[in-house]
Amino acid sequence: MNFDDQLRRYFGTADLSAVHAEAMGAGIERMRVDFGLETDRGRRFALWAVLYMLGTHLDLESAFEDEADRNSARDFMELIDRTP
């Protein structure tokens, strides 16, 4: 999944600064629904990562069944949180 493509799909633009608060909430809700329906591990992780970067924190225990996926998510969170 391409990051810009995801933004365009859920928010209508790759420029998040141009998205109004109401549209942001609707896009995040669509992403959460798609995350819940997605069965491909890679796509599921990509959706989770974008949701995390948008400040939507999903419980790792319920988001990922596999411990390796949870560990990857933790690693991702640490990397993102360290980035200025």
pLDDT digits 0-9 by tens, 27-64: 999 999 999 999 999 999 999 999 999 999 899 999 99
pLDDT (0 to 100) of residue 1: 63
Domain that holds residue 61: 3-82
pLDDT band at 83 (very low <50, low <70, confident <90, very high): confident
Q: How many domains does the chain have?
A: 1
Q: Is the pLDDT of residue 2 over 90?
A: no
Question: What H or E segment, with its residue span, contains residue 42?
Answer: helix 41-53
Q: Is the pLDDT of residue 84 over 80?
A: no
The residues near 10 (Cβ < 8 Å, ≥ 6 apart) are: 27, 28, 30, 31
